[in-house]
Amino acid sequence: MTQLKMIPDHTLSITCGLCKHHSMLEVANLILVVGEEATVHDVRKKFRCKQCNVKGENTFQIIYKGNGGIAFDGAGVRPCDYRWAYQS
């Protein structure tokens, strides 16, 4: 489990499992909302899609903003997602 306080300079990339709506959430901002003890899995489960309003049905990636590198924790990350995230 990755706690938000471990990755304060990262961004969570969340993609809705139903409509594929994509959101980028700055971890620093998430900490202000849910607290630094929360895990990325807590955030994923609570996240509600703005477009279709479904809750908890999504995949996510942890993206490090500093040098273009990327760290993973979690479910639903496929190799094609890796390439996409790394290049963007």
Stretch in the footprint of Zn ion (CB under 5 A) among 5-13, 16-24, 32-40, 78-86: 16-24
Q: How far apart are CA 51 and CA 64, in angstroms?
A: 25
Q: How far apart are CA 77 and CA 88, in angstroms?
A: 16
Tokens for 44?
A: 């994923």
Shortest CB 29 distance to Zn ion, Å? 20
Question: Binding of Zn ion at residue 21 (CB under 5 A)?
Answer: yes
Widest distance between CA atoms in the chain: 33
Residues 28-57 that bind Zn ion (CB under 5 A): 49, 51-52
Binding site for Zn ion (CB under 5 A): 16, 18-19, 21, 49, 51-52
